[in-house]
Amino acid sequence: MAITIAIANQKGGCGKTTTCMNLAGGLSAAGLRVLVVDADPQGSATEWRNRSEESRLSFDVIAMSTSSIHKELPRVIKNSSYEVAIIDCPPGTETKGFGTVTRSALLAADCVIIPSRPTPIDFLATSIMLPVLADVATIKPEQRVFLLLNAKHSSNRLGRTAKEGAIAMFSDQGIKIDILQTEIHDRTAFAEAPASGQTVVEFAPSSKAAEEILFLTKEVIKLCLVAQQ
């Protein structure tokens, strides 16, 4: 059955949809059959897919913004040829703090990627996810959680202490988190690609943005796909 990856963070604008769609583009380019599950009621991933008539995304996008993703998604992927499903989670505004849709997405996931802008304040903001991650960890102890540094500016000098602080904040709650080696920078191609209905891999194949996504793709294949089989 397909490996499921949830892209989650209660903070809007941290790069969930950008990561989800571009990673889907990267995994498709690597020859994998990918399904994107748009769990955000705002429908950003669906809108991205529909943005351009000429765009032919090399993966499918379905909308599923319910609190029973963990029940419905396995039914969708069970008899399909999908090898990876990536869930684009909503921001955590549906209920106080963190919503039931995200909890359900986390329950469906083998791996969780938390994109965060690389500042100590943004890292700290992810702490609102700790209770739900801890809760899901008791049900799915084998689930792996990764932090992805997104939209890094060349001036962002994020020290080792800040990274270690983030890891410690999660481990204090019994959640083992690893910081992905790939660092995604703030690049125009990421902001421009959605209007073309494409991912950066097709929109700007020789760009640094595409290079970073292909690096992320390899890392995700190694950590989430190969490791799970």
Ligand X SMILES: Nc1ncnc2c1ncn2[C@@H]1O[C@H](COP(=O)(O)OP(=O)(O)O)[C@@H](O)[C@H]1O
In the complex, which residues of this chain contact ligand X (CB under 6 A)?
A: 12-18, 44, 91, 150-151, 184, 186-187, 190-191
- 117 makes contact with Mg ion (CB under 5 A): no
**How do 3-7 and 111-116 pair as beta strands?**
parallel
Applying the rule CB under 5 A, the residues between 86 and 115 that interact with Mg ion are: none
Of 79 and 206, nearer to ligand X (C-beta) is: 206
Residue sitting closest to Mg ion (CB): 17
Residue 143, token pair as written in the block: 């689930």
d(CA 55, CA 65): 24
Interface pick for Mg ion out of 4, 9, 10, 17 (rule CB under 5 A): 17
User: Measured from the CB of residue 105, what is the shortest distance to Mg ion in angstroms?
Assistant: 13
For ligand X, the closer of residues 4 and 17 by Cβ is 17
Q: At what angle do helices 16-29 and 208-220 cross, to 10 degrees?
A: 80
| DSSP assignment of 32-92 | --EEEEE--TT-HHHHHHHS-SS---SSEEEE--STTHHHHHHHHHHTS--SEEEEEPPPT
- CB count within 10 Å of CB 173 equals 14
- Cβ-based nearer residue to ligand X, 33 or 185: 185
Select the residue interacting with Mg ion from 2, 7, 8, 16 (CB under 5 A).
Answer: 16
* Minimum separation from the CB atom of position 20 to Mg ion (A): 8
Question: Closest CB to ligand X among 14 and 204?
Answer: 14
| Beta bridge pairs of residue 88 | 7, 38
Q: How far is the CB of 226 from ligand X (least distance, A)?
A: 26
Among the listed ranges 43-51, 161-169, 179-187, 208-216, the one in contact with Mg ion (CB under 5 A) is 43-51
Beta-carbon neighbour count of residue 159 at 10 Å? Answer: 9
- Pick the closest to residue 70 from 40, 108, 123, 14 (CA basis): 108
Q: How far is the CB of 107 from ligand X (least distance, A)?
A: 20
